[in-house]
Amino acid sequence: MATSEPSVPAAVVLSRHALDAALFDLDGVVTRTAQVHAEAWKHLFDAYFPFQPFTAEDYQRYVDGRPRLDGIRCFLESRGVTLPEGSAEEGPEAETVQGLGKRKNGYFLEALRQQGVEVFAGAVGLLERLRAAGFRTAVVSASRNCEAVLRAAGLEHLFDARVDGVEAGRLGLPGKPAPDTFLEAARRLGVSPERAVVVEDAQAGVQAGRRGRFGFVIGVRRAGPEGALVRAGADVEVAHLATVKVEEGEP
């Protein structure tokens, strides 16, 4: 496999001889909704901290890939602010972690209604090649809107299992960078972690893949400095999933 840099290969080969399943993050990996999330977070926090704008670095460091409420706690802590947790019954006007979470989700859903759901063709093509080669596939997302996004994009048929923010909450699973949601997806697919590949665009996500001792972790660099996902725990980093090759064959 030819590479331009030792730690950041231009292409990756996934083989059925070594792997049985592929676990994909959703936002920023399969669907172009990460930017919609980022804009919703900026809308939320710029109104809350008008003199300290929310930046792309803030998004990647504190909220990207994390469950919504964890992201709020993480970012507020970075600004030295603590809010009461509040309750799930509170509305978006509440000045609590729960209230801010609902406010952010409202901004996201409104943008989704206006913009629709776009997909990354390279990711969809990779999913189709993996399934044709006999890989089992799952989507693992912190989003509680995962099912709605999949349905809107017409992608439900590409996944054998879904572990999202709703399922994580129901099961009491900690979010990324903890590996629990990925481990639950592997369990549902009936595969061992060392026989599964994790595909992620967030630092928290690749950290989860590494902590779960998965067989291979691919970082998808949609933004941020080159090599950051490798430093966070990915085995390789690619700019486009169309470069990932799939080999058939008996495991």
Q: Residues with catalytic annotation?
A: 25, 27
**Are residues 166 and 150 in contact, defined by beta-carbon separation less than 8 angstroms?**
no
DSSP string, 41-98: HHHHHHHHSTTS---HHHIIIIITTS-HHHHHHHHHHHTT-------TT--TTSSSHH
**Are residues 188 and 221 in contact, defined by beta-carbon separation less than 8 angstroms?**
no
Q: Is the dihedral of CA 183, 187, 192, 197 positive or negative?
A: negative
Q: Is the dihedral of CA 143, 181, 18, 5 positive or negative?
A: positive
Beta carbons within 8 Å of 42's beta carbon, 6+ residues apart: 53, 54, 59
The DSSP output letter for 135 is -
